Structure 1
Amino acid sequence: MALRIARIVGKIILWFVGITVVLVVAFKWLPVPVTATMVMDENGITKDWESLDNIDRNMVSAVIAAEDSRFCEHFGFDAEAIEQALEERLAGTRQRGGSTISQQTAKNVFLWQGGGWFRKGLEAWFTFWIEALWSKRRIMEVYLNVAETGIGTYGAEAGAQRYFDHSAARMTPDEASRMAAALPSPKKRAVTNPGGWLARHGNSIERRIGIVRRDGLDSCVYN
């Protein structure tokens, strides 16, 4: 009986590994048609997949400045950000996110929103594989096409059309920074006419765009 159970478990593991790797390889080249987050969104879906060639560099620099300044340095996991997040949790202070753009991409494409150690474990698994099989440019391209940018709105192109009435191919630093500032909570954070802390946060991201360019923090996307 124990041997039979072990064989069944072994087959399940092999099938899981095979299917997940095939999916990761497929999305290295193909646009992601839909995600679990989109399917479960009661507000519907507005999206428009665009090549990174058609998304302004200001948008790339803004999300790196806002979400993951070490995107070009790490292999999917930012140990320093994770350590800071744990310290803040233990201290009971404001908890910052420790997830990298790679982790967010893995979650958005292959999994669902919400916490839990099981989902976190799967997120780490998919993060490892997309970092191993995709280029940093591809990770950024997918991220900017599947990230939720507003209520029922997904991707930089759909967000740019919704908020600014023009393509993501020509976004100003101010526009890109405001969208990046809203990304962690796009259903609650205003992109147009933000006020208070959110406005200050957007202004801070806009200033850091210059640092991203100066220090080559987005170089892995464009070299």
Structure 2
Amino acid sequence: MSDKKEKYRQQILEIQEKLNAENRVYFDKFYETMGVNMLAYKEEIMVETVYTLLLDLLDAQYGGETASAYFGMDAVDMAKKMLEKMQRENPRYMLKVAAFIMVSGLFWSYFSEIKWFSAKPYRFSWVVYLLDIVIYLIFAVLFYRIMQLLIGRKILSYVILWLMLCLMIGTFVLISLFLKDFQAIAVPALTSKVIGCILLVIYGIGAFAWYRDMK
């Protein structure tokens, strides 16, 4: 995280404590609504926008006005209005995040199945890996679209999030149970371990590079 974003976040935390109960509820709702869209927009611009709005709200409070009266709309509509004017994140950024999560899942799926203390060959189904990728992409797109439609509905968003996660994990488990031997490929024990170690090094380097890039 850049120093500028960290500075804004810290100032937001400090200033929001000065809001009265009614304005704090308004701001929290606004902040939550903006946060749902964090990945889709430039994070630094979004945090700066939230900070600027918070300063305006604090000034209005000192003038005896409530947030609803000052902005002329509720928190969710205010967030939507701000998002309409905000610069969207580069689609490549979204793809990087989605790709990293997918690659992480595939790597750990392979790495965790290696029989490190056994001489038995490592067997895996390429069909399972392919279906896992397809299922993940479908759920990722569906989740993002649904969250966009449920802006401002915090509880419902959480419920749908957990339901989708459970459904996705359940789908992965069923695919693994019923198709783990379909078109299975046997890899010699030593070879599977060497491949696992090589992939671990590559994944570690890639994860570190990704983390630095995200900062």
Q: TM-score, normalised by structure 2?
A: 0.22
More helix as a share of residues:
2
Which of structures 1 and 2 has the bigger CA Rg?
2
TM-score (norm 1): 0.22
